[in-house]
Copies of this chain bind each other. A is one copy, B any other.
Amino acid sequence: MSDKFIHAVPNFSEGKREEVIEAVVDQLRDVEGVKLVGYFPDADFNRTVIELIGRPEPLKKALLDMTAKSIELIDMEEQSGDHPRIGAQDTIPIFPLKDITTEECREIAEEIGQAVYDQCEVPVYFSGENARTPEREKLSFIRKGQYEGLKEVAHTPERAPDIGPGALHPSAGAVIVSAGERPLVAYNVILGTDDLEIAKSIAKIVRGPSGGFTTVRAVGLKFSERNQVAVSMNMFDYDLTPLYRTFELIKNEAARYGVSVVASELVGVVPQEALVNSLEKYLQLEDFDRSQILENNLIGL
């Protein structure tokens, strides 16, 4: 059997109604060759993030079943929440996980996009590696105006769907499908202070737009349960900018305030490589072949 595995992080636009969330997520349960790693509804966002892994063919089918169910149960004319979105099944991003290339994932994302339109009659925008124009590589461009704004301009060439007519689906909006090289890693570094200003200052140093790491977005947050603050990061490329580099930068910057780093935490799932490449730097490890990790030989056994 092929040992190719894909990681998918689909997002659908319901984070409150438990029966809807469960009905959508149910499409991903007990599917041979697919594993639902976790799902994370957010009531304020009114959105659920799913972590899914699996072999390409069954994963594709599971993603289509999920999309059909989101579309059936979520009406964008009534949906509202704090997170930007353009459709019921808002995004379907996929990433290579094992023995598969980003290019193969790009092709699979094309197939998923076409199948979404063919089977559900919901128009599709391609993003990431599948973007038809440089602007569409980023979700923010595609989502400009959100569902409500996009439906007014979806007939214009600049904003029209990549598959489907120049119009959104009347209740389900559209779906954004993409392949990417690496998934986002959510990483928090917690400071030994309750001074939010310090966390905000350091976050500004760390994040790309204000002069920090191009691949990192960061905010300062209060961690009320521990009366401490944190630099909370979205790391978009753990290869270009490994975890250790942000951790050490934050430690150095915090020291300028006489503050120490008390802990860090990984939120949700993380590819093994995001851990190994940091340890490699700390231990100055040379010639470390990932197949030397015993467990990596278990996959497919």
| B97 pairs with A283, CB closer than 8 A | no
| A286 pairs with B272, CB closer than 8 A | no
Interface of A is mostly: mixed
| A295 pairs with B285, CB closer than 8 A | no
| B295 pairs with A299, CB closer than 8 A | yes
| B5 pairs with A298, CB closer than 8 A | yes
Q: Which residues of B contact A244 (CB under 8 A)?
A: 282-283
Q: Which residues of B contact A288 (CB under 8 A)?
A: 265-266
Chain A: interface residue count, which band? Answer: 35 or more
Q: A268-B292, A270-B292 are in contact. Are A35 and B282 (CB under 8 A)?
A: no
In the complex, identify which listed stretch (A110-118, A156-164, A273-281) lies at the interface while the others stay far away.
A273-281
Docked complex Cα distance between A299 and B97 (Å): 13
In the complex, identify which listed stretch (A22-30, A120-128, A256-264) lies at the interface while the others stay far away.
A256-264
Q: Which residues of B contact A190 (CB under 8 A)?
A: 286
| B272 pairs with A294, CB closer than 8 A | yes
- When C-beta atoms are compared, the residue in chain B nearest to A268 turns out to be B292
Q: Which residues of B contact A282 (CB under 8 A)?
A: 244, 247, 278-279, 282
Q: A97-B298, A264-B285 are in contact. Are A292 and B269 (CB under 8 A)?
A: yes
Q: Which residues of B contact A170 (CB under 8 A)?
A: none
- When C-beta atoms are compared, the residue in chain B nearest to A183 turns out to be B294
Q: Which residues of B contact A240 (CB under 8 A)?
A: none
| A33 pairs with B301, CB closer than 8 A | yes
Docked complex Cα distance between A5 and B284 (Å): 31
Q: Which residues of B contact A262 (CB under 8 A)?
A: 284
Q: Which residues of B contact A37 (CB under 8 A)?
A: 291, 294, 297
Q: Which residues of B contact A271 (CB under 8 A)?
A: 293-295
A40-93 interface with B by 8 A CB criterion: 51, 53-55
User: Could you list which residues of chain A lie within 8 angstroms of chain B, going by C-beta atoms?
Assistant: 5, 7, 33-35, 37, 51, 53-55, 97-98, 190, 243-244, 247, 261-266, 268-272, 275-276, 278-279, 282-288, 291-299, 301
